Amino acid sequence: MKINQATIFPLSIPLIEPIKMAKEVIVDAKTVLLCLTDDEGRQGWGEASVAPLMTGETLDSLLASLKYLVDKARAVEWSTPNLFSKSCNAILYGNPSAKSCLEMALLDLYTQQHSISLWKYLRSINISIGSVGLTEIPLLRMLGGTPEKEIADAKSFREAGFRHWKIKIGSLSLEEDLNRVQLLSDLLEGDVISVDANGAMSLDGALRFCTSVQASKLSFAEQLISADSTLADFALLKERSPISIALDESIHGSTEIEEFMMANALNGASLKLIKTGGVMEAWSCAQILRRNNLKLNLACKVAETSLSGAATASIGFAIGDVPWGFSMSNQYLRFDICDQPLTAKRGHLELAQLNATGVGITPNLDRVKDAVAQDYSIIQY
């Protein structure tokens, strides 16, 4: 499979409302779409979002890396998905988001060429998974804002069928966060409730949080301390915490998962394609977690469109178990770039939405063009 043409779309899509995280407030989604056309005229799409605090990539650096990658990619014969990542690494060091974007578009082309959906292809290359799979994936919903808004949103979305939750913490005092967590945990008791500090807590603060009565109903706590913390600190936190410890910013691939496993420093992990460098490495990570009875959360960066959502969800449908839910972030966008965006049904994503060949989602080109970021232009090779 050869690439004849590549078009890059730098996008900026406003969120329905700002999302406050421990270290930033996000008001719009800056994401990049890539459309590849192969030598038989098929089009494959990829996506990656800007995440300077997670991958170090800004919109400008992501565009520069992707332009470099796709220019070199036109000289490569792409035939074996397991080697796509190796070929990208031979072209460019680091830059996992740009590589994820290119790999997703290549996988879209490859699976279209072989008339199979991406999730079925992933399942087919690991027969140990078995034939029994999910028909739907539980979606995880973020809560934020004033206490009154969090309560109102929790009630509304719970009535709509959501049973997996993430409470953003770390920007307020420990006491304020604990009060919020207790209030919401009592309201949502029986559901899968988590918190995410994005690494904003000290080790002492994280230990106080996890051992508090207010946090006792949580299902897991995600990335409480900085990814720069020592492995010993993570191991101590996991040892002393009665709450399951999930890692996000600390996990960029299978190497980190295995290191934290050896140190007995995690109960599970959150996988994002922009961290792992693409679907195939994320798929490998998911299988490692499953084999070792560790929990899995799948997530898109805030906020990616249905395209990245479909590729990420394909891992969940292929692995057959997503106990900590799927953070499908297109639900926070003011608009999507697809005619038929991924949608929640009773708080779940149904498999039927991804049964088309390829990634399962095709963007509407007019909508994509309308979302091009101000002061940026479409790039074509």
Q: Is 15 left (phi over 0), alpha (psi -120 to 50) or beta?
A: beta
Q: Where are the domains of the chain?
A: 3-115+364-380, 121-354
Residue pair 36/8 in contact by the 8 Å Cβ criterion: no
Q: What is d(CA 237, CA 154) in angstroms, rounded to the nearest whole number?
A: 29
| pTM, rounded to two decimals | 0.94
3-115+364-380 homologous superfamily = Enolase-like, N-terminal domain (3.30.390.10)
> Angle of helix 59-73 relative to helix 96-113, nearest 10 degrees?
40
pLDDT at residue 127, rounded to an integer = 63
Distance CA 284, CA 203 (A): 30
Contacts of 80 (CB under 8 A, 6+ apart): none
Domain 121-354 CATH class label:
alpha beta
| CA dist., res. 344 & res. 332, Å (int) | 12
41 within 8 A of 74, measured Cβ to Cβ: no
Q: What is the pLDDT of residues 87-136, one digit of tens each?
A: 999 999 999 999 999 999 999 999 999 999 999 999 998 767 766 677 89
Enter the tokens of residue 367: 């909508």
State pLDDT tens for residues 313-338.
Answer: 999 999 999 999 999 999 999 999 99
Predicted local confidence at residue 289, as pLDDT: 97
- Half-sphere exposure for 253 (CA within 13 Å, toward CB): 14
Tens of pLDDT along 161-205?
999 999 999 999 999 999 999 999 999 999 999 999 999 999 999
Other Cβ atoms closer than 10 A to 307 = 31
